[in-house]
Amino acid sequence: MTYFFIIGAVVVALAALAALVNYVISIVHGFRRDPPLPEELAKGYATKQELAAEIAELKEELKAERERIDKIHAKQFDLIRGLTAELTERYSRLESSISSWQLGIERMIGRIEGKVVTQ
């Protein structure tokens, strides 16, 4: 009978030890990150080389965009310069035309006054 008692006690002790080990392992797993931090960082963040390549690419795109904008500004400046010259010429012609018209009106008024005074 003592033999069965010792075997039963050993089996109970082994079961208790297994339960204790299982409990400790579950606690350790509870504190562990899932997914591990290096794996998460590898998914969501760029390396320095990738970042440097992306920055270089963006700088090239920015340079090309600045050149395109400079060309547009040059075209607009040329257009404005041409329009200014054209409008200045039109204004000069209009001013000359108005001056001629005004001079003609003043001459007509002068003739009319001369006729009125001489009569």
- The model's pLDDT over 14-57, given as tens digits with 9 standing for 90+, comes to 999 999 999 998 888 877 767 777 777 777 777 889 889 999 99
**Residue 29 domain flag:** yes
Whole-number Å distance between alpha carbons of 78 and 69: 14
- The mean pLDDT of the chain is 88
Whole-number Å distance between alpha carbons of 58 and 51: 10
**Residue 106 domain flag:** no
Count the domains in the chain: 1
Domain containing residue 33: 1-45
C-beta separation of 75 from 68 below 8 A = no
Which carries the bigger pLDDT value, residue 96 or residue 46?
96
pTM more than 0.85: no
| Contacts for 46 with CB less than 8 Å, ≥ 6 apart | 54
**Residue 57 domain flag:** no
Give residue 63's pLDDT: 97
Q: How confident is residue 79, by pLDDT bands cut at 50, 70 and 90?
A: very high
Can you tell me whether residue 101 is helix, strand or coil? helix
**Residue 93 domain flag:** no
